Amino acid sequence: MSGAETGAETGTARPLNMIQALNEAMDICMARDPDIVVMGEDVGYFGGVFKATEGLQKKYGKTRVFDTPITECGIMGVAVGMAAYGLRPVPEIQFADYIYPALDQIVSEAARIRYRSAGEYIAPITVRSPFGGGIFGGQTHSQSPEGIFTHVAGLKTVVPSTPHDAKGLLIAAIEDNDPVIFFEPKRIYNGPFDGHYGRPVTPWAKHPGAMVPEGYYRIPLGKAATVRPGGDVTILCYGTMVHVVAAVVADVGIDAEIIDLRTLVPLDIGAIVASVTKTGRCVVVHEATRTSGFGAELSALVQERCFHALEAPVERVTGWDTPYPHSLEWAYFPGPVRIGEALKRVMKD
């Protein structure tokens, strides 16, 4: 079987940034399936405020790639109706911070339509949305609301951390027959970020995760990636924090096992349990606020399944329970200092 059938990576790899990788994923999916439509604020002629949909309208026409009115409720409601017709909409919510007006349509409609109609109607919708901070976006352009969506029955939630994964995961999300919330860590659209905001930006080209195969391939939803194998402590993270964590681990010289979850729901519980059982210690890192954040779920799962293997309490390094502050962004952001302190605490005993 060819890669086009199995989803295996067969194309020649070359470096792309995350925007280019996402664009390529949508392009490939649209070429394969005429029922895929891309919609959202500024996504058409202009190609999106982050340029993720650039060139798609020119290639596929205005009835498949179009600008929408500024109503996230409307975008999502229309997507549910289009899905009822048989299309596979890929709406873009310009910033994750703007997703709340669409919440009723996502939570009460898209997420439940398969269940409430016993499969008569489905919502194969992939909601793409840039999320996370580190760009001086203040409280309305920086949030990480993934925990709101992982809490909802019927939704899948995906967060890529490299161009390579972004492409393969987005293709898998678009082909999935259930609604997927696809959060794109916008801080790393153009290059990985080690958490040292004063340093010059590194482009993706030098990072191995930027090597993106040409053509079609899928990364199955629900499979984590071990970014760095190690024996001392397991660090669970996703999105931008994968790169911050990797830099801290390299700096402090701890033999940590870094797991990039990639998909939060469904979660790769096997990878988590295997790692924590081996290391006996676990640190969870995310940018979102702490209380009821996804870290709470991870911490509970590790405690339930790895209790006897644990040698220290599970640590959570997260954003503080405050709105995302503009000028104090780097005091809010769970950066190298805080991750380093948490690693020291968890390794103490």
Partner 1 sequence: MTEETAPRGNLAPLSLHVPEPKFRPGDAVDYADFDRGEAGRMPRPAIDAAPSDMRDLSYGLVRVLDDDGRAVGPWDPRLSPQTLLRILRHMALTRAYDERMYRAQRQGKTSFYMKCTGEEATCIAAAHAMDRMDMVFPSYRQQGVLIARDWPLVDMMCQVYSNAGDRLKGRQMPIMYSSRAAAFFSISGNLATQYPQAVGYAMASAAKGDTKIASAWCGEGSTAEGDFHSALTFASVYRAPVILNVVNNQWAISSFSGFAGAEATTFAARAVGYGIAGLRVDGNDALAVYAATLWAADRARGNHGPTLIEHFTYRAEGHSTSDDPTKYRSAEEHGAWPLGDPIVRLKQHLIALGAWDEERHAAMDRALAEEVRAAGKEAEKLGILGDGMHQPFSTMFEDVFEEMPWHLKEQSQQMFEERKAAGI
- Enumerate binding residues for partner 1 (CB under 8 A): 37, 63-64, 68-69, 71, 73-74, 76-87, 89, 101, 104-105, 108-109, 113-122, 153-154, 156, 176-178, 222, 265-267, 269
d(Cα 230, Cα 110) in Å, to the nearest integer?
40
The CB-of-48 to partner 1 minimum distance in angstroms stands at: 19
Give how far Cα 343 sits from Cα of 84, 174, 253, Å: 49, 37, 11
Half-sphere exposure of 181 (CA within 13 A, CB side): 32
The CB-of-176 to partner 1 minimum distance in angstroms stands at: 8
* DSSP-derived 3-state class of residue 89: strand
* Cβ atoms 190, 203 nearer than 8 A: yes
* Cβ atoms 287, 133 nearer than 8 A: yes
The CB-of-266 to partner 1 minimum distance in angstroms stands at: 4
Task: Between 110 and 256, name the residue whose CB sits nearer to partner 1.
Answer: 110
Task: Between 63 and 327, name the residue whose CB sits nearer to partner 1.
Answer: 63
The one-letter amino acid code at 335 reads: G
State the catalytic residues: 141
Angle between helical axes of 240-252 and 336-347 (0-180°, round to 10): 60
Task: Between 142 and 299, name the residue whose CB sits nearer to partner 1.
Answer: 299
The CB-of-104 to partner 1 minimum distance in angstroms stands at: 6
Task: Between 120 and 349, name the residue whose CB sits nearer to partner 1.
Answer: 120
* DSSP-derived 3-state class of residue 58: helix
DSSP label at 201? P
